[in-house]
Amino acid sequence: MLCAPRDFKMAAVQSVNPPMYKLPVLYNNSSPLDLPTCMYQMSSCHYEEVSDGNDQREDILTLENKQENILRELEVLRTEINGLASKLEVKLPTKRSPVSVDYVISASPQDPPLSLFLLQRIMNQRNMVHCASTFLHSSVSVCDVTKVPTFQKPRNDRGRQSPCLLTVVWKNVPDLPYLVISSSHTPLFGEFTIARHLSRACLPDLYSKFGIDEIAHIDHWIHFASNSILNSKSKERADALHTLNSYLKSKTWLVGNQMSLADIAVASACLQVGSLQPTFGNVKKWLDNFPSLQ
């Protein structure tokens, strides 16, 4: 017997299978739920139970007693070491000696870096502890030692124990002068680049202790010494010396009221180019401040 379409739908609904899983009721809908007011509940870290401080005081006393015991043991150990050194006639060091810095500068005897020798003589005048020496490299076949500058004998020389070791090696190789920094093995090329480094390390009052504007002024004169005097043609050099002579008409020093690295750089450049014309009287008078270079 055929069913009508409506009867077929009712038969299909009645033939649906029961659910595969039946879950039990986990809560009673009749009782209200206690829901949290935040996502995570954490205990307060700002609230601490107030104590009378006796426990903390006892911990501090324990640490202090332990420290006192350690100091007493160290004192006993020092007494024993001093007694043993006295018995063996051994002199114990009183303080740690400073680390020596070795400045080895390679330079050409035909173009000596006069500014570096002047810096050493300033160190010597100030009785600074240092060691200074020069050597002749095998690349130099002929060298008249009477025509190259020399270091002054240091007044306060402790040999290799000196905190500052200055060494100039006369060579005949390209790209002179240069200094290799011992800590980083980085080469510094150029006389005035090396002079800046030595001034910062040994004589900071000549450069780095000036103000920002004054340091810029010093750098200007160092550039003037290198580009306008040493590495220029005769006409440009004469114009530069005229400019310098006019500037020194009312000046004792190039920057401020004291000697700086600017004076050392320009003075060494003037002396390296040879004799000056009589018209540069102010420059010659100013060079009298550096008798050790002439």
Domain's final residue, options 189, 205, 221? 205
Q: Give yes or no: residues 190 and 217 share one domain.
A: no
Q: Is 30 inside a domain boundary?
A: no
Q: For the chain, how many structural domains are there in total?
A: 2
Q: Give yes or no: residues 170 and 266 share one domain.
A: no
Under a CB-based contact definition with an 8 Å cutoff, are residues 283 and 277 in contact? no
Where does the pLDDT of residue 1 fall: very low under 50, low under 70, confident under 90, or very high at 90 and above? Answer: very low
Residue 243: give its domain's CATH number: 1.20.1050.10
Percentage of the chain surpassing pLDDT 90?
A: 53
Where does the pLDDT of residue 49 fall: very low under 50, low under 70, confident under 90, or very high at 90 and above? Answer: low
The Cα 188–Cα 179 span in angstroms is: 5
- Of 284, 103, 264, nearest to 192 by C-alpha is 264
pLDDT in tens, 236-276: 999 999 999 999 998 999 999 999 999 999 999 998 887 77
Where does the pLDDT of residue 181 fall: very low under 50, low under 70, confident under 90, or very high at 90 and above? Answer: confident
Q: How many CB atoms lie within 10 A of CB 267?
A: 23
- Tell me which of 134-143, 195-204, 224-233 is least confident: 134-143
Return the pLDDT at 16. Answer: 59
Q: Give yes or no: residues 106 and 201 share one domain.
A: yes
Q: Is 71 inside a domain boundary?
A: no
Q: Is 26 inside a domain boundary?
A: no
Q: Is 250 inside a domain boundary?
A: yes
Q: Is 6 inside a domain boundary?
A: no
**101-107 β-sheet, strand order:** 131-136, 164-170, 101-107, 178-181, 186-189
Tell me which of 130 and 39 has the higher pLDDT: 130
Q: Which tokens in the block code for residue 3?
A: 């069913």
Under a CB-based contact definition with an 8 Å cutoff, are residues 133 and 169 in contact? no
Q: Give yes or no: residues 175 and 241 share one domain.
A: no
Residue 145: give its domain's CATH number: 1.20.1050.130
pLDDT in tens, 69-97: 999 999 999 899 988 888 888 888 776 55
Quick check: 8 pLDDT over 50? no
Q: Give yes or no: residues 241 and 159 share one domain.
A: no
Q: Is 224 inside a domain boundary?
A: yes
The Cα 34–Cα 253 span in angstroms is: 88
- Tell me which of 15-19, 22-26, 133-137, 209-213 is least confident: 15-19
Q: How many CB atoms lie within 10 A of CB 137?
A: 14
Q: Is 186 inside a domain boundary?
A: yes
pLDDT in tens, 197-220: 999 999 999 999 999 999 999 999
Q: Give yes or no: residues 197 and 105 share one domain.
A: yes
Return the pLDDT at 103. Answer: 93
Which residues of 186-230 form beta strands (DSSP E)?
Answer: 186-189
**Taking all residues of the chain, what is their mean pLDDT, rounded to a whole number?**
84
Domain's final residue, options 181, 205, 229? 205
- Tell me which of 31-45, 110-124, 206-220 is least confident: 31-45
Q: Which tokens in the block code for residue 208?
A: 């780095």
Q: Give yes or no: residues 181 and 261 share one domain.
A: no
Q: Is 17 inside a domain boundary?
A: no
Average pLDDT over residues 224-243: 93
Q: Give yes or no: residues 221 and 173 share one domain.
A: no
Q: Give yes or no: residues 140 and 159 share one domain.
A: yes
- Backbone phi, psi, residue 283, to 5°: -65, -45
For the chain, helix (H) and strand (E) counts, in that order, are 8, 5
Q: What is the pTM of this model?
A: 0.65
Q: Give yes or no: residues 138 and 194 share one domain.
A: yes
Q: Which tokens in the block code for residue 187?
A: 């080469």
Give the sign of the dihedral formed by CA 147, CA 148, CA 153, CA 158: negative
Domain's final residue, options 172, 205, 238? 205
The Cα 195–Cα 199 span in angstroms is: 6
Tell me which of 101 and 47 has the higher pLDDT: 101
- Backbone phi, psi, residue 39, to 5°: -70, -45
The Cα 176–Cα 112 span in angstroms is: 9
Q: Domain residues for 115?
A: 101-205
